[in-house]
Structure 1
Amino acid sequence: MHLPLLLSLLLLLAATDSIEGFRTSASETRHRPSSPLRLSNTPNPFESIQSIFSPKSGSPPSRAIPDAVVDPDYKLAAGFGAAGAATIALDQAGVVGSAFGGFLCLLALLFAVQGTRIRFVFDQDSFELKQVGEGELDDSGENIVVGGKNRWSYESFVNWRFFPSKEFPILVYFKETQTSPDGQIHFFPAFANVDQLNDQFELRGCAQMDNN
């Protein structure tokens, strides 16, 4: 066999082996089962920032302040009753002392009755006086002094406090602009729990001037 022909045959065999090898590799690559894609466990650095501007819809809404009915308090009635009885006893049947002592006793009775039948109520937007009914609280009617309902929005409050003090309360005072744009003053005997009243006025954001 001639040398050129032999070299041509060797080159052809080498080229055929290379092609077959390439086909095998390509075939294995095409038919090799691919590994499943996996999500990266690396936290998204923008996730916390995104949550600030896009809060989850499932987050619970803020709760409204629940309505409150202030408990009655009979210390004022008891105090006036004791003062009236003491005045009558110390005056020893004098006309002036007996009259004044009797007046204090009548006030004590009035405060006790009011504490039994009237409630201070705080709802979502207003402060109101209600009357105790049969198993529920009823409308207390119109204000006998200035007229209108005994109901005032918290936004209308200008001032409130207790006289002579929270530690020794006789009167509940507040001023509002709902009844009159110039401000209407109200006074009520403290026949309700003053601590609860104070807490509710503050909780509802009722305006209070510096009374010190």
Structure 2
Amino acid sequence: MSSLNKQYLTYLAKYPLLTKSITAGVFSGLNEIVSSSITNEFKESVVFGKYKVKHFFTQKLLTMIIYGSLIATPISHNLYYIINNKLFVGALTTKGKILKILTSLLTVTPILSACFVSWIALINNYKLKTDKEFDIGLEAKKIVAIVKAGLKKGYKAVLKSSLVTSFFSLIVAQAFIPPELWVVFFNLVYFVLGTYQNTKLKKLQKQQRLQQQKKDEEKKLG
């Protein structure tokens, strides 16, 4: 385990963004598989012409991997680079360390929380039209409406859990975790947090879809 961690840290130092992107992509994929299992959102496919098989290899799984590796990671990587190399450089006093943590919690965490909620809302509620009636303006409005609704319903809860988890994780890491294991520790922490948040959002949005379907049916009958 120690040798694997050492090798991982070597790659992280040599190829920071690429290593982080691959790691985040893997964890985001696992996140989607676990949350889909908990919320019972399987895809059913027919194999050999007659056997129905339930599985997790869906478009949502691919989009979550894309989110973790190509969206969340570059954003966090560059924001933390600015914080660590532009705003807080060199040896820091206790006050400086506290200010650095607060800066991270008040900038990076809210931005990533907003991105996460928006992405989950889109992959759960938006379907791209591919027919001749496709209207880019109409689709853009639809995307904006879905993102706004998702942020309104889920952003506060996700931000709150992210802030609390980040704060206590930093305290635990500084007190009990060797610095060389911080990367692995935070990857595991945010995997658990992301899975919890994804599951909660899936349940909420599933409930909203059912309520909307019920309203649509009542309108047709009325």
Where relative contact order (Cα < 8 A, 6+ residues apart) is larger, the structure is: 2
Q: Is TM more than 0.5 here?
A: no
Q: TM-score, normalised by structure 1?
A: 0.26
More strand by share: 1
Which structure: larger Rg?
1
More helix by share: 2
